[in-house]
């Protein structure tokens, strides 16, 4: 297997883009939210916004787990790791996310034992290798990563590894969609449904969006053609006044999801009564916590958690961007105080955050156009 | 973390059927197969991997397409870095859902 570097099926792409233009017409405006951060990244990277007609507006959803994590949770996790002999283990995505007292990377520079892991099982391995230390895995992610955390905790319990715990920040996608649909400034016509979350939960949990909210949702793959085909499927529904769940990503996603993954999550987690989301506030039943059977491996039960709540920097408008009210470049700090190199808000940290994606592609493109017109 | 990485199963542990060696663009690391216990992959099958766990079985063509997508997304380095970082090479048996 080799990496290659060109768009596949360019003819099919232009044909599909033509179909989108035909379906979209000019008589109305469409607001479509892509929920998943991976889709946001793909849309910017592939320049799909330039392919779509102007009356299709893409709103970037809350599906980047790093971006929706409130600052206080980072500070809470780091506060636990301030204690002697604790190793703070997290995915690389977390390392530059600023808490009120700095990012995990900055804490590492100040002497904290901070390790990047690529899998929760690597964090468990760290615990095996360091029996005199306590390894706390700072878990984040939607349903895509939650099953892996669950399986790792099951293994820790089975092996009786007691110097390991999880600081659980896993969130679930459905309540976030509900919160967006319930918000007063909501103006969405339909959704591009997340691809990889849906490999776990399947398509069935989206049915209420179609049935109760009368919004179409198409679960989509990540290739340019996938996203364009999903747009065609959405527009067809919208033109005919239908609202149903469709699965464009059938080669990976099944209607019922992954039963083993759902069983692992049910074994270890329970639903939190509420959880704070950056930009969206407190959302009921939107996150997972560790149940009593696994209390011994729950960092929140083993350690004192300060329960820090920090409001985002006042000037930053992450919330409005997350809800789709503002475009990234309309934020006061965008590209000035807040850049991918020196992020103020989390949306600028992850490549799946809409601000970083916008900055990396659109902003660069705009700068190029400006400099070209100046030289012309 | 959110990357779905296609890998080919090149070895399934004889003493632990939930642990397999996968090949991702030439890098070989151990991943966990517990999440596919209802529809177990065989030697030579392709799987999509998230954070060290195989999440779904896919066809060879879909695996190639996914690798192509990751390349176009500018994520191929991140993929190799993530897979190279998987260190669970000595995972003992057990831990199934």
pLDDT digits (tens, 9 = 90+) for A51-72: 999 999 999 888 889 889 988 9
Domain count, chain A: 3
Chain A touched by B65 (CB under 8 Å): yes
Residue A89: which CATH number? 3.40.50.11740
- DSSP class of residue A16 equals H
A155 part of a folded domain: yes
pLDDT of residue A369: 58
What CATH number corresponds to the domain at position B68?
2.30.30.140
In a domain, A295, yes or no: yes
Give Cβ neighbours of residue A220 (< 8 Å, ≥ 6 apart): A34, A39, A192, A193, A195, A226, A227, A229, A230, A248, A249
In the stretch 27-46 of chain B, residues with CB closer than 8 A to chain A read: 32, 34-38
What pairs with residue B42 in β-bridges? Answer: none
| Residues A118 and A30 both lie in one domain | no
The CA distance from A316 to A327, in Å, is 13
Of A153-167, A265-279, B74-88, the range with the lowest mean pLDDT is B74-88
Does A187 lie in the same domain as A224?
yes
Average pLDDT over every residue of A99-112? 94
Answer yes or no: is B18 within a domain: yes
Position B3 scores a pLDDT of: 78
Confirm if B33 and B54 have CB atoms less than 8 A apart. Answer: yes
pLDDT band at A376 (very low <50, low <70, confident <90, very high): very low
Residue B90 has pLDDT above 70, yes or no: no
pLDDT of residue A368: 58
Residue A154 lies in a domain: yes
Q: Are residues A234 and A364 in the same domain?
A: no
| Mode of pairing for the β-strands spanning A86-90 and A114-116 | parallel
pLDDT computed for residue A343 by the predictor:
85
What is the chain A residue with the closest CA to B38?
A: A260
The total of structural domains in chain B comes to 1
- pLDDT bin (cut points 50, 70, 90) of residue A2 is very low
| Residues A213, A87 share a domain | no
Share of chain A above pLDDT 70, in %: 94
Residue numbers of the domain that contains A225: 10-63+174-247
B97: nearest CB among A37, A222, A263: A263
Query: Which residues does chain B have within 8 Å of residue A267's beta carbon, measured at their own beta carbons?
Result: 97
- Please judge whether A118 and B86 are an interchain contact, meaning their C-beta atoms are less than 8 angstroms apart: yes
| Cβ within 8 Å of B, A 284-323 | none
Mean pLDDT of A85-90: 98
B9 part of a folded domain: yes
Q: Please give the average per-residue pLDDT across A305-316, as a whole number.
A: 83
B21: in domain: yes
Q: Is the per-residue pLDDT at A245 higher than 60?
A: yes
* Residues A240 and A322 both lie in one domain: no
Same domain, A212 and A349: no
Q: Which residues of A, range 64-103, sit inside 8 Å of B by Cβ? A: 64-66, 91-93
Q: Please tell me which of the candidates B85, B87, B97 has its beta carbon nearest to residue A151.
A: B97
Q: Is the pLDDT of residue A364 over 70?
A: no
User: Cα A88 to chain center, whole Å?
Assistant: 22
Residue B96 lies in a domain: no
Q: What is the pLDDT of residue A29?
A: 96
**Gap between the Cα atoms of A69 and A97, Å rounded:** 9
pLDDT-based confidence at residue B94 (cuts at 50, 70, 90): very low
Between A350 and A87, the more confident residue is A87
Q: How far apart are CA B71 and CA A260, in angstroms?
A: 30
Residue A23 lies in a domain: yes
Residue B94 in domain: no
Instruction: Show which of A256, A274, A302 is a domain's final residue.
Output: A302
Contact: B52, A144; criterion CB under 8 Å: no
Residue-wise pLDDT for B6-16, tens only, equals: 999 999 999 99
In a mutational test of the A interface, the residue from B8, B53, B96 whose CB has the highest number of chain A CBs within 10 Å is B53
pLDDT given at position A67: 87
Q: What is the mean pLDDT of residues B19-39?
A: 95
Q: Read off the pLDDT of residues A169-218 as tens digits, 9 standing for 90 and up.
A: 999 999 999 998 988 877 899 999 999 999 999 999 999 999 999 999 99
Nearest CA in chain B to A63: B2
Structure tokens at A196: 């990889």
pTM of the model: 0.92
Residues A153 and A223 in one domain: no
Do A58 and A200 lie in one domain? The reply is yes
More confident site: A347 or A130: A130
Q: Are residues A93 and A186 in the same domain?
A: no
> Residues A145, A224: one domain?
no
Residue A89 lies in a domain: yes
Which residue does chain B place closest to A65, by CA atoms? B2
Domain encompassing residue B40: 5-85
Strands (E), chain A: 30-36, 56-63, 86-90, 114-116, 134-141, 164-170, 190-193, 217-219, 245-247, 269-271, 274-277, 281-284, 288-290
A130 touches chain B (CB under 8 A): no
Nearest CA distance, A264 vs chain B (angstrom): 5
Q: Is residue B97 part of a domain?
A: no
The CATH number of the domain holding residue A188 is 3.40.50.11750
Q: Is residue A370 predicted with pLDDT exceeding 80?
A: no
């Amino acid at each position: 297997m080799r990496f290659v570097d060109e768009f596949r099926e360019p003819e099919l792409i232009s044909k599909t883009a033509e179909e989108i233009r035909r379906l979209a017409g000019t008589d109305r405006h469409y607001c479509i939210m892509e929920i998943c951060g991976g889709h946001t990244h793909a849309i910017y990277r592939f320049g799909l916004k330039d392919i779509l007609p102007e009356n299709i507006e893409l709103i970037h959803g809350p599906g980047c787990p790093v971006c929706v994590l409130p600052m206080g949770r980072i500070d809470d996790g780091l506060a636990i790791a301030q204690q002697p002999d604790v190793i703070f283990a997290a995915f690389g995505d977390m390392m530059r996310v600023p808490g009120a007292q700095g990012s995990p990377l900055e804490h590492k520079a100040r002497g904290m034992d901070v390790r990047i892991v690529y899998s929760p099982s690597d964090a468990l391995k760290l615990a095996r290798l360091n029996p005199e230390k306590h390894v706390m895995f700072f878990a984040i992610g939607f349903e895509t990563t939650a099953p892996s955390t669950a399986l790792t905790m099951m293994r820790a319990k089975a092996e009786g590894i007691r110097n390991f715990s999880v600081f659980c920040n896993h969130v679930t996608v459905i309540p976030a969609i509900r919160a967006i649909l319930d918000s007063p400034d909501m103006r969405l016509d339909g959704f591009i449904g997340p691809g990889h979350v849906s490999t776990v939960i399947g398509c069935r949990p989206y049915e209420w969006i179609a049935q109760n909210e009368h919004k179409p949702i198409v679960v989509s793959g990540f290739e340019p053609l996938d996203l364009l085909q999903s747009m065609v499927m959405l527009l067809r529904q919208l033109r005919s006044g239908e609202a149903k769940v469709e699965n464009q990503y059938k080669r990976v996603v099944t209607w019922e999801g992954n039963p083993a993954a759902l069983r692992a999550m049910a074994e270890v987690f329970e639903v939190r009564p509420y959880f704070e989301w950056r930009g969206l506030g407190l959302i009921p039943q939107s996150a997972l916590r560790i149940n009593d059977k696994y209390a011994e491996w729950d960092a929140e039960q083993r350690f004192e958690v300060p329960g820090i709540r920090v409001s985002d920097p006042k000037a930053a408008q992450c919330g409005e961007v997350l809800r789709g009210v503002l475009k990234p470049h309309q934020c006061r700090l965008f590209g000035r105080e807040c850049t991918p190199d020196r992020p103020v808000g989390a949306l600028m940290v992850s490549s799946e955050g809409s601000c970083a994606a916008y900055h990396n592609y659109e902003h660069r493109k705009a700068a190029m156009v400006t400099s070209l017109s100046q030289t012309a | 973390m959110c990357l779905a990485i296609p890998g080919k199963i090149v070895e399934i542990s004889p003493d632990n059927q939930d642990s397999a060696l996968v090949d991702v663009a030439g890098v070989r690391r151990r991943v966990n197969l517990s999440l596919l216990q209802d529809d177990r992959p065989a030697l030579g099958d392709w799987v999509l991997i998230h954070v060290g766990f195989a999440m779904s079985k896919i066809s060879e063509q879909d695996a190639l397409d996914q690798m192509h997508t990751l390349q176009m997304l500018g994520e191929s380095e991140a993929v190799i870095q993530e897979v190279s970082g998987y260190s669970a090479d000595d995972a003992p048996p057990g831990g199934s859902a």
